[in-house]
Amino acid sequence: AGTSLPATSESGSPDPSVIVSPASGGSAPLDYAEFLPRVGASLLDGIFVGIMSCIPGGIVGFILGVIGGASGDVGVAQTMTALSSVCGQILGIVIGWLYFALQDSSQKQGTFGKQIVGIKVTDLQGNRTSFGRATGRYFAKWITGCTCGIGFLMPLWTEKKQTLHDM
């Protein structure tokens, strides 16, 4: 007996929606996490990534704003404003990717949000997922988002409670 730890999907993709009993060494049948803990983890992770992105984004925006303002040229100022926006988008993507991929493939096997709600990302055997697989899963979420969010609602009706990017 003991407490349950979360695990992954049958397709082999990392899935933060599975729970494996630690006493079984990962050989017990997988019990997938429910929809609401996933939502809670996602909301928490959104807050964490937002905070982490604001700091470097603010610094880059400030520096480019000073450069644009100091130039005295309207064209340079407009270029710096556009560049600031592009840099902010790139920083947001990189920070989000590293946040999810590094933490999901770490010893903790999940982001801060997943850890708080008790979800752990593993392979089918209950082992830690690789950085490459966690990276693939992160970018697969973008495809899930292209379904107008329906892919994120799939745990409500799929047998294994998986989102589109978990399959």
Packing angle, helices 74-104 and 35-71, rounded to 10: 150
pLDDT tens-digit map of 65-77: 888 878 778 888 8
Long-range contacts of 49-55 (CB under 8 A, 24+ apart): 49/92, 49/95, 49/96, 49/99, 52/95, 52/99, 53/91, 53/92, 53/95, 53/96
H or E segment at 156? none
Q: What is the mean pLDDT of the chain?
A: 79
User: Rounded mean pLDDT of 33-58?
Assistant: 91
State the pLDDT at residue 72: 79
3-state secondary structure of 6: strand
Question: What is the pLDDT, as a whole number, of residue 106?
Answer: 92
When pLDDT is cut at 50, 70 and 90, the band that residue 30 belongs to is low
Q: What percent of the chain has pLDDT over 90?
A: 28
Burial class (CB in 10 A: 0-12, 13-18, 19+), 163: buried
How much is the pTM?
A: 0.73
Range among 17-26, 64-73, 137-146, 156-165 with highest mean pLDDT value? 137-146
The per-residue pLDDT for 23 is 37
The pLDDT of residue 154 is 81
Q: What average pLDDT does the segment 39-64 reach?
A: 91
Overall average pLDDT of the 22-42 stretch: 70
For residue range 78-129, list pLDDT tens digits in order: 888 888 889 888 999 999 999 999 999 999 989 999 999 998 887 777 788 8
Using the predicted structure, report yes or no on whether residue 54 has a pLDDT greater than 50. Answer: yes
Amino acid, single-letter form, for residue 99: Y
pLDDT score of 62: 87
